[in-house]
């Protein structure tokens, strides 16, 4: 049975949490008195479905069940976890916690608060020990950070349980050592926000110019190394001490107006809002969200390729779910022994895969085949470890037929049939399927090589035994239509 999260408050943040839980296979019960909540969450879900699965190389679990409730008590019924994302009013939060703890005593409550400390949130609660800060960043369904901040009232097991739930939905829980206002991220955001408002007010730069100054420069650095690792590099061969010696004195220079805050009045709001309209008003909010999401998917995918930072979090999340996936694949292998093609891969068409026709670009069909064959190799015992030990299957020759079109967000799967095999090679035939439609077929000859010697050699006995079992089972299957074709050959 699915675990259940109660989402109290379904705005931008609450909706993002709902999406993250649902797409990770949790059921979600929402309470939000806004009559528009259901429509708003549906819009967030649409964005999230197009983005989050695009980060996974393991099939996502079936989406959880989403329900809306008229009372907090109903929403929290049977919940294993509550994420509270109501407005930043402490009395309101206290009222919500009282209702939650009355309806579901003992439930763990994480708050999305941007600034209240856990000890503020816990005041006057029946069970203060079960209330903790779990502060995310928008878009919640893509950015991994969740700042976990407890008070001395929270026992270690509550912190640990929160950490585990965050990991379960693919987040990076950062436990903060001491209670401080605004945790870590928002302190920096606040610092930059103050400075930015001064620049606008003084006419130094517009909202657009400030955004360019960030995203064309240090913003790119910070997405992958943060502040200190970046500065460590800036110190060059002489390192961090050199950097400190060089830039430390700047602390005393009049480089910021941080000592003071600009007056927050209508004039300032007008200035910011009108400049922002000039800069971004040509896009609707949903459109901007989609642009942002695709950019973030691109960044996160790049980091995942390099197993770095947030990309490492994604890989670890895949690994946690991989056991179930490989068990499913192994079932496929049994099926293979029963003479049916093996479904060896599932995935989603990503933004970077689209060509100028709006279709999946042709080389990505080959990529889908590679993923399918790689999973098959892992299954027969010729995965990463086998490669690391010096042997591998290399592709020698491939024939691809393009039979249909795949578009952004389409769910594809790769179904593999072994046409022939011996100790040194195999011929595979992969159908790339979209639902029941076959959008491409890929026939391929792979040779088993000793990588160091650079020549074809027999596979290890256990690998060959596994391969042979599948090949023998598949020998009974009809030869697929299109096998053995040359390019442009007439149909027979």
Stretch that binds a copy of itself, among 101-109, 263-271, 331-339, 410-418 (CB under 8 A): 263-271
Question: At residue 346, what are phi and psi to the nearest 5 degrees?
Answer: -135, 145
Nearer to a copy of itself, 35 or 249 (CB): 249
Least distance from a copy of itself to the Cβ atom of residue 73, Å: 27
Which of 62, 282, 489, 491 is the binder for a copy of itself (CB under 8 A)? 489
Nearer to a copy of itself, 67 or 188 (CB): 188
Least distance from a copy of itself to the Cβ atom of residue 316, Å: 13
Our finding on whether 302 is near a copy of itself (CB under 8 A) is yes
Q: How far is CA 400 from CA 369, 426, 443, in A?
A: 10, 17, 6
Least distance from a copy of itself to the Cβ atom of residue 26, Å: 21
Our finding on whether 236 is near a copy of itself (CB under 8 A) is yes
Do 373 and 430 touch, CB atoms closer than 8 A?
A: yes
Our finding on whether 267 is near a copy of itself (CB under 8 A) is no
Least distance from a copy of itself to the Cβ atom of residue 349, Å: 14
Residues 159 to 188 in contact with a copy of itself, rule: CB under 8 A: 172, 174, 176-178, 180-188
Residues 323 to 362 in contact with a copy of itself, rule: CB under 8 A: 351-352, 355-357, 361-362
> For residues 271 and 281, what is the distance between their CA atoms, to the nearest angstrom?
14
Which of 256, 319, 331, 450 is the binder for a copy of itself (CB under 8 A)? 256
Stretch that binds a copy of itself, among 120-128, 274-282, 326-334, 408-416 (CB under 8 A): 274-282
Tally the residues of the chain.
492
Our finding on whether 143 is near a copy of itself (CB under 8 A) is yes
Q: How far is CA 376 from the centre of its chain?
A: 25
Nearer to a copy of itself, 78 or 185 (CB): 185
Nearest to 379 by CA among 463, 302, 309: 463
Nearer to a copy of itself, 294 or 413 (CB): 294
Please give the structure tokens belonging to residue 33: 């008195």
- 3-class DSSP state of 89: coil
> For residues 204 and 149, what is the distance between their CA atoms, to the nearest angstrom?
37
Residue 220: count of CB within 10 angstroms of its CB: 11
Which of 99, 276, 335, 411 is the binder for a copy of itself (CB under 8 A)? 276
Question: At residue 441, what are phi and psi to the nearest 5 degrees?
Answer: -120, 145
Nearest to 158 by CA among 86, 99, 107: 107
One character per residue 430-469, x = contact with a copy of itself (rule: CB under 8 A) = -------------xxx-----x------------------
- 3-class DSSP state of 227: coil
Is 14 marked as a binding-site residue? Answer: yes
> For residues 179 and 160, what is the distance between their CA atoms, to the nearest angstrom?
17
Which of 2, 57, 137, 168 is the binder for a copy of itself (CB under 8 A)? 137
Least distance from a copy of itself to the Cβ atom of residue 150, Å: 14
Nearer to a copy of itself, 247 or 334 (CB): 247
Least distance from a copy of itself to the Cβ atom of residue 98, Å: 24
Least distance from a copy of itself to the Cβ atom of residue 167, Å: 13
Count interface residues toward a copy of itself (CB under 8 A).
158
Measured at the CA of 476, the angle between CA 470 and CA 477, to 5 degrees, comes to 90
Is 11 marked as a binding-site residue? Answer: yes
Nearer to a copy of itself, 126 or 245 (CB): 245
Nearer to a copy of itself, 184 or 438 (CB): 184
Our finding on whether 363 is near a copy of itself (CB under 8 A) is yes
DSSP-assigned letters across all residues of 115-182: S--HHHHHTT-S-GGGEEEEEE-SSTTT--EEEEE--TTS-HHHHHHHHHHHHHTT-EEEE-SS--TT
Contacts of 432 (CB under 8 A, 6+ apart): 365, 368, 369, 372, 406, 412, 413, 414, 438, 439, 440, 441, 442
Nearer to a copy of itself, 202 or 334 (CB): 202
Is 13 marked as a binding-site residue? Answer: yes
Is 29 marked as a binding-site residue? Answer: no
Residues 27 to 86 in contact with a copy of itself, rule: CB under 8 A: 40
Residues 394 to 433 in contact with a copy of itself, rule: CB under 8 A: 394-402, 420, 427
Look at strands 4-8 and 27-31 and give their pairing: parallel
> For residues 180 and 115, what is the distance between their CA atoms, to the nearest angstrom?
9
> For residues 362 and 116, what is the distance between their CA atoms, to the nearest angstrom?
51
Least distance from a copy of itself to the Cβ atom of residue 176, Å: 7
Question: Which strands, in side-by-side order, build the sheet including 4-8?
Answer: 66-69, 27-31, 4-8, 81-84, 108-111, 131-136, 145-149, 172-175
> For residues 54 and 302, what is the distance between their CA atoms, to the nearest angstrom?
12
- Residue 198 β-bridge partners: none
Least distance from a copy of itself to the Cβ atom of residue 479, Å: 13
Residues 96 to 135 in contact with a copy of itself, rule: CB under 8 A: 114-115
Residues in binding site for NAD(+): 9-14
């Amino acid at each position: 049975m699915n675990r259940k999260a109660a989402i109290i408050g379904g705005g931008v943040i609450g909706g993002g949490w709902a999406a993250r839980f649902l797409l990770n296979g949790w059921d979600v019960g929402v309470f939000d008195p806004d009559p528009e909540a259901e429509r708003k969450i549906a819009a967030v879900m649409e964005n999230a479905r197009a983005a989050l699965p695009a980060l996974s190389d393991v099939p996502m679990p079936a989406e959880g069940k989403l329900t809306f409730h008229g009372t907090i008590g109903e929403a929290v019924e049977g919940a294993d976890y509550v994420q509270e994302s109501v407005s930043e009013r402490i009395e309101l939060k206290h009222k919500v916690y009282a209702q939650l703890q009355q309806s579901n005593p003992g439930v763990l409550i994480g708050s999305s608060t941007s600034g209240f400390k856990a000890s503020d949130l816990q005041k006057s609660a029946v069970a203060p020990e079960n209330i903790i800060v779990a502060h995310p960043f928008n878009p919640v369904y893509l950015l991994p950070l969740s700042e976990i901040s407890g008070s001395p009232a929270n026992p270690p097991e509550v912190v640990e349980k929160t950490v585990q739930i965050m990991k379960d939905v693919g987040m990076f829980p950062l436990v903060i050592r001491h209670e401080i206002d605004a945790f870590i991220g928002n302190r920096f955001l606040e610092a930059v926000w103050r400075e930015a408002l001064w620049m606008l007010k003084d006419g130094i730069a517009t909202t657009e110019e400030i955004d360019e100054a960030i995203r064309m420069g240090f913003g790119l650095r910070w997405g992958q190394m943060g502040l200190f690792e970046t500065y460590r590099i800036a110190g060059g061969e002489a390192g961090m001490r050199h950097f400190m010696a060089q830039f430390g004195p700047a602390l005393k220079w009049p480089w910021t107006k941080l000592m003071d805050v600009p007056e927050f009045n209508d004039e300032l709001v007008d200035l910011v809002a009108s400049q922002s309209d000039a800069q971004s008003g040509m896009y609707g909010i949903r459109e901007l969200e989609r642009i942002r999401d695709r950019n973030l998917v691109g960044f996160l995918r790049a980091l995942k390729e390099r197993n770095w930072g947030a990309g490492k979090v994604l890989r670890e999340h895949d690994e946690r779910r991989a056991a179930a996936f490989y068990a499913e694949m192994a079932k496929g292998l049994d099926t293979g022994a029963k003479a049916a093609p093996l479904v060896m891969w599932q995935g989603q068409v990503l933004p970077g895969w689209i060509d100028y026709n709006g279709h999946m670009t042709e080389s990505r069909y080959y990529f889908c085949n590679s993923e399918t064959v790689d999973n098959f190799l892992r299954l027969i015992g010729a995965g990463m470890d086998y490669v690391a030990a010096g042997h591998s299957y290399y592709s020698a020759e491939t024939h691809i037929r393009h039979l249909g079109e795949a578009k952004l967000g389409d769910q594809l799967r790769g179904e593999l049939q072994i046409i022939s095999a011996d100790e040194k090679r195999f011929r595979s035939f992969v159908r790339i399927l979209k639902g029941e439609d076959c959008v491409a077929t890929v026939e391929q000859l792979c040779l088993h090589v000793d990588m160091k010697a650079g020549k074809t050699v027999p596979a290890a006995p256990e690998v060959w035994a596994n391969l042979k079992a599948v090949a023998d089972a598949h020998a009974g299957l009809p030869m697929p239509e299109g096998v053995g074709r040359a390019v442009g050959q007439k149909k027979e």
